[in-house]
Amino acid sequence: MPELPEVETVRRGLQKLIKGYTITAAHELHPRALKPESIAPLKSINGAKFLDVKRRGKYLWFLLDRPQVLVAHLGMSGQFLIYQKDRPEAKHVRAKFELSRNLRKRELVFNDQRTFGWVSVEEVNNGIPTSAQHIATDPFDPLFDRSETINKFAKRNMRIKTALLNQEIMSGVGNIYADETLWRAKVHPEISTADLTKKKIAKIIDFATEVMQEAIAKGGTSFDDLYIDVNGESGFFEQSLAAYGRTDQPCPRCGSMIRRITFGARSSHFCPRCQGKLNL
């Protein structure tokens, strides 16, 4: 599933390529493309101009020259792609937006092989769309309060890996970057937040910020063509992964074999030596 670095990469690409364009025609091409809670069909935003593209955690939304916004979640395999003549056409287009600016035309499509992603027309409250009201700020949000977030983690009594994935505590981190964060912090994924000092929690947050910043700089992580940017390009952070997906490969830090465990329907990759449960 695309995480914050992948979604931020898409946001930046969209901001660069469609800002200032007007939607001349918006089409729903699959029954699951539009979120059921959408307040209107896509055609309701025909004639709207894209003013900007915003993000909170893994949620994207397009600011329009009207009160409503177009919100999107990429789900497992959602992609926003700008049609280009020299590239193969997308095979799983769920929604299409015909755009125009100063007689220049573009076509933006929402492609989603697994159909867990969606788009939605929504209202906003305090600048945040309805769908994202429950989502916490992420470390790159100007409103992110590091001290408050540390306290949120400290008040919980759950595995730290589970807490990192909880988008209501701190948003943006998914399975990949949780594993990488905990590897850098030398923390076992099953350790409870209640057993971590606030100083250690602060380091975990800082490492999460660091690893996601590095991933953004490399266009995110692409294991297959289910994640690509708006130009159809893959990210290169996979080459920098130290733990995630490296089962039975040597830890880059100590040489021990990376292990994979499963809990809560999630898998976790970690170094049993560097991230021993006593390394608090």
Q: What is the mean pLDDT of the chain?
A: 93
Please check the confidence at residue 87 and state whether its pLDDT lies above 90: no
pLDDT digits (tens, 9 = 90+) for 228-241: 667 777 777 888 99
The pLDDT, as a whole number, for residue 84 is 79
pLDDT digits (tens, 9 = 90+) for 33-45: 999 999 999 999 9
The C-alpha atoms of residue 137 and residue 232 are separated, in whole angstroms, by: 28
Closest C-alpha among 46, 42, 47 to residue 71 = 42
Residue ranges of domains in the chain = 4-132, 146-270
3-class secondary-structure state, position 206: helix
Q: Provide CB contacts within 8 A for 22, sequence distance 6+.
A: 47, 48, 49, 50, 99, 100, 101
Please check the confidence at residue 30 and state whether its pLDDT lies above 80: yes
Please check the confidence at residue 149 and state whether its pLDDT lies above 90: yes
The pLDDT, as a whole number, for residue 89 is 83
Please check the confidence at residue 225 and state whether its pLDDT lies above 70: no
Q: Which residue has the higher pLDDT, 16 or 263?
A: 16
Residues β-bridged to residue 69: 63, 122
Q: What is the mean pLDDT of residues 47-60?
A: 98
Closest C-alpha among 64, 94, 71 to residue 11 = 71
Please check the confidence at residue 280 and state whether its pLDDT lies above 60: no
Closest C-alpha among 99, 96, 95 to residue 47 = 99
Closest C-alpha among 262, 263, 257 to residue 271 = 257
pLDDT digits (tens, 9 = 90+) for 175-214: 999 999 999 999 999 999 999 999 999 999 999 999 999 9
CATH number of the domain located at residue range(s) 4-132 in this protein: 3.20.190.10
Q: What percent of the chain has pLDDT over 70?
A: 95
Please check the confidence at residue 25 and state whether its pLDDT lies above 80: yes
Range name among 208-222, 249-263, 264-278 with the lowest pLDDT average: 264-278
- The CATH architecture annotation of domain 146-270 reads Orthogonal Bundle (1.10)
Instruction: Give kind and range of the element (H or E) at residue 27.
Output: strand 22-28
Q: Which residues are catalytic?
A: 2-3, 58, 266
> CA–CA distance from 185 to each of 142, 149, 250 (Å)?
24, 17, 17
Q: Which residue has the higher pLDDT, 85 or 82?
A: 82
What pairing do the DSSP bridges indicate for beta strands 104-112 and 93-101?
antiparallel
Please check the confidence at residue 111 and state whether its pLDDT lies above 70: yes
DSSP string, 78-135: EEEEE--TTSPPPS-EEEEEEEEETTEEEEEEEEESS---EEEEE-EETTEEGGGTTP
Q: What is the mean pLDDT of residues 50-59?
A: 98
Residues β-bridged to residue 119: 34, 72
